Amino acid sequence: MNIMHPTLRRLDLNLLPVFDAVYRHRSVRQAAEELAMSTSALSHALSRLRATLNDPLFYREGHLMCPSVYASQLAPAIASALAHLNHQLTPQAEFNPATTTDCLQIAITDFTALSIFPALMAELQYTAPGLRFEFRYLPHSPALNELLAGEVDFALGFSAPQDSHYAELDEIDWFTDEYVVISNPRRQQLTLDDYLAARHLVVTPWNESKGVLDRELERLGYRRQVAIKTPSMLSAPFIIADSDLLMALPRSAAEKLKQAAGITIFALPFAVPPFEVKIYSHKRSGKRGAAQWLHKMLKELPHMQTTRNT
């Protein structure tokens, strides 16, 4: 048996604005004018409320409707509740990217942020200069559970397992890339034997025990020597540049990091599936205007970049 809110279940909530208006105006006529009701309809509503609450609520003194002690106790809570509901139920203003200061929560890794946000922020500085972001590192990828729970507005990640598709989520296939290997500039070649003989630095954002490359090597009957596992990609290229370690990563990231560190890029000496980055968002985001606009922007961004560069 449902016993939640027993008083509210027997109370017509439409009577609360009547109470609030009479309390503020101390007048049935003025309250009726504010609520666009006839005085007889308002008087009838007030009678129903008196019967429900078992209190006279107001009594006439001259031309004024004076509140009872109980009405005076109720009035602040009713006024506050009505004001809060009115604010929350007011239709959202149409989203304006040029003036928004909304803040979106984005689940990322170092690599997904590097893949998406340089191009995105280059565009948003013109179209939505006040739109803000907070990056969140989460213990797994993609962060679909957090997205479904409304803890984040977007999740940047790799392809989700086939059985984790949710009808509530939208996906953008951001890009597909190939794996390459970076090394210090002293290395002249990289064969499979060279790769297996070397020690490796592996970025594990979620502290995973095995990555895509390790699983593929195991399938081929090989195993690599991991010297360093780190959750962050920031220091990795500089460690590689000053050591004999190797590191595998997507080509787009390697090309960007090559500009900052003295590294050489080699083809991966064995075949692996391509690297896919996806952008996930909830179809009914709590920040509906900003999230829908950004989703549309992200889908159009590759074309916009091409147009801007021509």
Whole-number average pLDDT of the chain = 88
Residue 154 sits at φ, ψ, to 5 deg, of -140, 150
* 267 inside domain: yes
* 5 inside domain: no
Q: How far apart are CA 55 and CA 73, in angstroms?
A: 12
Q: Which domain holds residue 27?
A: 10-87
Contact assessment for residue 140 and residue 261, using Cβ atoms and an 8 Å cutoff = no
Q: What CATH number is attached to the domain comprising 83? A: 1.10.10.10
Structurally, the chain folds into a number of domains equal to 3
Last residue of a domain, one of 38, 58, 87: 87
Residue 21, pLDDT above cutoff 50: yes
Q: Do 293 and 144 reside in the same domain of the chain? A: yes
Contact assessment for residue 261 and residue 238, using Cβ atoms and an 8 Å cutoff = yes
Q: Do 42 and 191 reside in the same domain of the chain? A: no
* 47 inside domain: yes
Dump pLDDT digits (tens) for 103-132.
999 998 888 888 889 989 999 999 999 999
Q: Give the pLDDT of residue 141.
A: 64
Q: Do 284 and 163 reside in the same domain of the chain? A: yes
Last residue of a domain, one of 32, 55, 87: 87
Residue 90: how many CA atoms within 13 Å on its side-chain side? 8
Q: Give the pLDDT of residue 8.
A: 76
Residue 101, pLDDT above cutoff 90: yes
* 97 inside domain: no
Is the preceding omega at residue 142 within 30 degrees of 0, hence cis?
yes
Count of Cβ atoms closer than 10 Å to residue 306 Cβ: 9
**Residue whose pair of structure tokens reads 């003194």 in the numeric block:** 61
Q: Do 154 and 290 reside in the same domain of the chain? A: yes
Q: Give the pLDDT of residue 167.
A: 78
* 1 inside domain: no
Dump pLDDT digits (tens) for 229-238.
998 888 999 9
Kindly report the pTM of this predicted structure. 0.67
Q: What CATH number is attached to the domain comprising 267? A: 3.40.190.10
Exposed / middle / buried, residue 143 (Cβ in 10 Å: 0-12, 13-18, 19+): buried
List the structure tokens of 11. Answer: 């109370």
Q: Do 168 and 295 reside in the same domain of the chain? A: yes
Q: Do 293 and 173 reside in the same domain of the chain? A: yes
Dump pLDDT digits (tens) for 164-202.
567 788 888 888 899 999 999 999 999 999 999 999 999
Q: Do 245 and 185 reside in the same domain of the chain? A: yes
* 98 inside domain: no
Q: Do 255 and 268 reside in the same domain of the chain? A: yes
Q: Do 152 and 263 reside in the same domain of the chain? A: no
Q: How far apart are CA 224 and CA 246, in angstroms?
A: 10
* 293 inside domain: yes
Q: Give the pLDDT of residue 1.
A: 46
Q: Give the pLDDT of residue 165.
A: 66
Q: Do 49 and 197 reside in the same domain of the chain? A: no
* 16 inside domain: yes
Q: Do 184 and 256 reside in the same domain of the chain? A: yes
**DSSP of the chain:** ---SSHHHHTS-TTHHHHHHHHHHHS-HHHHHHHTT--HHHHHHHHHHHHHHHTS--EEEETTEEEEPHHHHHHHHHHHHHHHHHHHHHSPPPPP-TTT---EEEEEE-HHHHHHHHHHHHHHHHHH-TT-EEEEEE-SSSS-HHHHHTTS-SEEEEEPPPGGG--TTEEEEEEEEE-EEEEE-TT-----HHHHHHSEEEEE-TT--S--HHHHHHHHHT---EEEEEES-SSSHHHHHHTSS-BEEEEHHHHHHHHTTS--EEEE-SS--PPEEEEEEEETT-TTHHHHHHHHHHHHHHHHHHHHHH-
Q: Do 291 and 165 reside in the same domain of the chain? A: yes
- pLDDT band of residue 310 (cuts 50, 70, 90) is very low
Q: Give the pLDDT of residue 163.
A: 45
